[in-house]
Structure 1
Amino acid sequence: MVMDRSLETRVSQAVDAWLKWLPRWHPSTHTGRTRVCRRCFGSPVMAAAGLDHDVPHAVQHGLSTRVKAIVDDVVDDYTNKNLPLLRHELIEAERRKAATYRPERGLEPEYDGLPLDPEPDPSAPYLFTLAGLADLDTPQAATPPPPPPPLSDEEKVALRTEIRLADECAIHAGKLVCIAMAEHRGRIERAVAIYVEPQVAALLSDLSLELDAPPSQW
């Protein structure tokens, strides 16, 4: 499997950006997740980076999101050049989604998939939330563009073929990214040892003290 030098460079830049962000990371003590992150859990990229175990999810997510953007760009480029039917379908889908305000657009990768609004506090109400703004009906949403004409049977068969080719492109790009990521495993593990493990150990120590403390007397 031949490594694309531009892909290797982009992976290196993604790791650089993540390493620059990591010293600003702190454990969250109030935000819980209701489901497993499908992007990080069981990810071969996280395994290649050495972040597939004993690492807080937010630490994983900041890197996995950046890597996903690299793979997405590879697939987008391949689709634009070689898969006209799929490209047209994706443009139509984006045109419809553009009618809805999306407050998460443009945020740094670390915020992807995380709540945009704080938990409600009855003692400090706020006038609006970003999630509420996203739900507002806009003039564009009220009058969506007309749907495209239905595909013919031949076009449906061709579209299924193009989707399969796009999936194969994503799998191939993912494998190349894993190979490139493995080259950075050493400095990733050193950064985790410096910036993450001491904070996790301190958090566990504080928790242990609270659990061992005798109940207060009333």
Structure 2
Amino acid sequence: MERSLDTRVTQAVDAWLTWLPRWQPATHRGRRSPCRRCFGSPLLASVGIGDTAPHGVQHGLSVRLMTIIEQRVAQYTADNLPLLQSELDMQAARNRGRGYRPAEGLDPEFEGLPLDPDPEPGAPFLFTIAGLAEEAERATPPPPPLTEAEKNALRREIALSDDYANEIGQEICVLLHGHRLRVQAAVREFVDPQIDQLLSELSRSLDDPFA
């Protein structure tokens, strides 16, 4: 029997809470562009960490929750949207034909993040992981072109898929309100002290302007 949406959300939050004590502030350079999964996420806002927690903390939870939505949409698509499912099946076959897929099999805390760091001005990379993945994708044959009628039908099915994803997302937002207290308590226990320590170390390392 398929697990209820409430159960799936609870399990996702539980898994994130189990991981959170291992979180540490990143020591590498920050992102130059906002994360599309996390920036302005209504899921994170519903659980109360949308504008307060560091991105690494947010990302581990948002990916787990987005996975629930993606799996529900995948099942809805398989059951109701044959043209879109056919396109997805062809894309999956192309992906299987690629020999290099570095973005697959990552832990939720790293899923969807850039494969390479931002380049330093004047110091280009000899090669990048993303570039190697793009080369592998270009080596696979492209899918056959669609007719105009097929394109219009595909657009309608994509719109239905998007509507269903929004519906599931809204349901999850409601369910997340029941987890706000324990999520925020965990952030206060495991994240805030590390941030406070960083700020304290930074203040000690700066020269006192009034000395």
Out of 171, 182, 190, the position equivalent to 2:177 is: 182
- Are 2:102 and 1:103 equivalent residues in the alignment? yes
What amino acid maps onto 1:109 in structure 2? P
Superposition deviation, residue 211 in structure 1: 1.3
* Residues 138-162 of structure 1: CA deviation (Å, up to 9, x unaligned): 6x964x34632x3333322221211
Query: Structure 1 residue runs of 4+, over 6 Å off?
Result: 117-120
| Counterpart in the other structure of 1:165 | 160
Shift of the 115–169 alpha-carbon distance from structure 1 to 2, 3 Å rule, reads closer
What is the aligned residue count?
A: 201
Matches within 5 A, 1:44-193: 44-98=42-96, 99-114=98-113, 131=129, 134-135=132-133, 142=139, 144-145=140-141, 147-148=143-144, 150-193=145-188
> Which residue of structure 1 lines up, in the alignment, with residue 5 of structure 2?
7
Q: What are the residue-to-residue correspondences of 1:8-47 with 2, within 5 Å? A: 8-47=6-45
Greater Rg over alpha carbons, structure = 1
* Residues 103, 131 of structure 1: 8 Å contact kept: yes
The answer on 1:194 being equivalent to 2:192 is: no
CA shift for structure 1 position 93: 2.0
State the AA in 2 paired with 1:169. Answer: Y
Aligned-residue RMSD, C-alpha: 2.7
Query: Aligned residue for 2:123?
Result: none
Assess, with a 3 A threshold, how the Cα gap between structure 1 residues 146 and 49 changes in structure 2: closer, same or farther: closer
Give the letter for the 1:111 counterpart.
F
TM-score normalised according to structure 1 size: 0.82
5+ residue gaps, structure 1, are 121-127
Asked whether the equivalents of residues 102 and 133 of structure 2 are also in contact (C-alpha less than 8 Å), the reply is no
Flag structure 2 segments of 5+ consecutive residues without an equivalent: 120-125
Measured after TM superposition, the shift of residue 33 of structure 1 is 0.6
2:122 matched to which residue of 1?
none
- Using the TM superposition, give the Cα deviation of residue 133 of structure 1 relative to its aligned residue in structure 2, in angstroms: 9.0
Measure the CA separation in 1 of the matches of 2:92 and 2:200: 48
Residues 151 and 119 of structure 1: CA distance in aligned 2, closer, same or farther (over 3 Å): closer
Return the alpha-carbon distance in structure 1 between the equivalents of residues 47 and 177 of structure 2: 6
The amino acid that maps onto 1:54 is: T
Q: 1:153 to 1:135 in 2, by over 3 A?
A: closer
Give SS of 1:184's match. Answer: helix
CA offsets 1:165-217 (integer angstroms, 9 cap, x no match): 00100000100111111111110011001000111011011111111358xxx
Query: How has the CA–CA distance of structure 1 residues 146 and 198 changed in structure 2, closer, same or farther, with 3 Å as cutoff?
Result: closer
| C-alpha distance in 2 between matches for 1:134 and 1:6 | 40
Q: Residues 100 and 134 of structure 1 are in contact (CA less than 8 Å); yes or no, is this contact kept in structure 2?
A: no
